[in-house]
Amino acid sequence: MVASMKVLHIVKTAVGANWAYEQVRVLCSLGIEVVVALPSDTEGLAPKYREAGATVVRANLDFPAREPWRIPATLRACRQLVADIRPDLIHTHHVGTTFIARLALGKNSPIPRVFGVTGTLHLEHGFFAWLDTHLAGPRDYWIATCRWTQRKYATLGIPPNRVFLAYLGTDIKNYPSTRTGILRDELKIPADVPLVGMVSLFYAPKWYLGSARGHKGHEDFIIALARLRQERPDVRGVMIGGTWGGGQWYEDRVRRFGKKLCDGSLQFSGTRSDVSTIYPDLDLAVVPTHSDGLAYSVVEPLLAGVPVVATNAGGIPDLIRDGDTGWLVPPANPAALVRAVLDALADPEEARRRAARGRNLTRNLLDLEKTGREVAAVYEKVLAVPAPRLVGRIESPGQTAAVQSDATVMRSQLPSTEV
């Protein structure tokens, strides 16, 4: 481990992104000095970060796209934070915080920056993919959390020695595979009734990306369930998860859509803290996402030994290999979902075999201690790279002008919604 390594982690939320906390926890255990910037230093995961050994500072450094007049103040706050902390390396965890760090410090910042790319959505849109690479300087690096992302940056012209692969780990011991009946008792569904479920938060459509529906595919699940019951009227469905951010209106719309199409055969369970416990009550987990990294909606059921039907989107194929560890279908294709679900329900023994192979693969790839060490190894490699000779001071007039110019471009082109 690099001696006296101090890493500043910038996270846009204190109440979500549990994977960032888990990563920091392992890094602290490895002896790395971690400072975490969160919008709140008291709420959500802030106390757990401290318990893990990290220093927590309050700083809201997400890109304020809905309030563009706050951009200059946010950039100043980022520069001041970095000046106060004096980190050896900066690790950003979201698109918005990454853009702020790059704009605030400039392309020629002497401090190396690592962007942990957990999702694929911004890379699927040309303008935001361009911003990602355009704002990066010679000391910017990326940690892809799935192979799709790694390949995408190669197509965008980023050299392979600047893009690392390190999966988001999880506590692989926290997923019992024994059915408790808790969920079925709540929903009043007998043990012998086939139950298929979708576990995902409701993310409102991103209109600026041309989306009329959320990217997790809730509507596809509903359409597929309605068609599925035409051939298997005994099948019941459940959606587990609440609303993320200000998308309650979208969850309400999806609920109305489900009630209309499924006529009582679909139930909603809302936000829960016992997902790992209730997963085994499902006969099948369905992941109809249109865009994702290596989503927990695939990881968790596999660790619980539940068969999975998922879409061939983003990082999903890293774990779901059609015919081996589950069923893989094209995104936005409810008819393909129906065929795969019927296949899985028709052969429970084969479904269990695929789930078992998927569980083994997941436990091997996503052990939290292993993935944490992989991230630490990325830090060592990045810090071992000599700084380019031509490095300007962060406060230099030329760099300040460049930052202002880039910020002006973003204000003029970004729609008024979150990045």
What is the domain-level CATH number for residue 332? 3.40.50.2000
Same domain, 49 and 124: yes
CA atoms of 23 and 34, how far apart (whole Å): 11
Q: Please tell me what DSSP assigns to residue 329.
A: E
Tens digits of residue pLDDT in 106-164:
999 999 999 999 999 899 999 999 999 999 999 999 999 999 999 999 999 999 999 99
Residues 360-390: b if buried by 16+ CB within 10 A, e if exposed: ebbbebbbbebbbbbbbebbeebeeeeeeee
> Quick one: 297 and 356 in the same domain?
yes
Helical spans, DSSP H, in 156-232: 182-187, 218-231
Same domain, 235 and 324: yes
Asked if residue 240 is part of any domain, the answer here is: yes
Specify whether 215 is located in the same domain as 246: yes
pTM value? 0.87
The answer to the question of residue 124 being in a domain is: yes
Is the distance from CB of 241 to CB of 202 less than 8 angstroms? yes
For 84, other C-beta atoms within 10 Å of its C-beta total 12
H helix intervals, 14-146? 18-29, 46-52, 71-85, 95-105, 126-134
Residue 177 inside a domain? The answer is: no
Q: Are residues 342 and 392 in the same domain?
A: no
Q: How many domains does the chain fold into?
A: 2
Note whether residue 419 is domain-resident.
Answer: no
Do 239 and 334 fall into the same domain?
A: yes
How high is the mean pLDDT of the chain? 90
Residue 288, in any domain of the structure: yes
pLDDT in tens, 354-396: 999 999 999 999 999 999 999 999 999 999 998 876 544 444 3
Query: CA-CA distances (angstroms) from residue 112 to 109, 125, 360, 373, 383?
Result: 7, 26, 36, 19, 7
Q: Which residue has the higher pLDDT, 369 or 206?
A: 369
In a domain, residue 120? The reply is: yes
Is residue 155 located within the same domain as residue 195? no
Q: Are residues 371 and 309 in the same domain?
A: no
Q: Which amino acid is at 301?
A: P
> Are 359 and 384 contained in the same domain?
no
Residues 6+ apart with CB under 8 A from 210: none
Q: Span 328-356, mean pLDDT? A: 97
**Rounded Cα gap, residues 251 and 270, in angstroms:** 10
- Does residue 310 share a domain with residue 211? yes
Residue ranges making up the domain that contains 26: 6-169+367-413
Shared domain for 10 and 147, answered yes or no, is yes
Q: Are β-strands 33-38 and 55-58 bridged in parallel, bridged antiparallel, or unpaired?
A: parallel
Q: Within a domain: residue 212? A: yes
How far is Cα 29 from Cα 51, in angstroms, rounded to an integer?
11
Q: Which two tokens stand for residue 74?
A: 């946010």
Distance CA 334, CA 237 (A): 15
For tokens 């576990």, what's the residue? 199
230 lies in the same domain as 158? no
Residue 388 in any domain: the answer is: yes
**189-to-181, 240, 355 alpha-carbon distances in Å:** 9, 15, 23
- Residue 73 to residue 79: CA distance in whole angstroms: 10
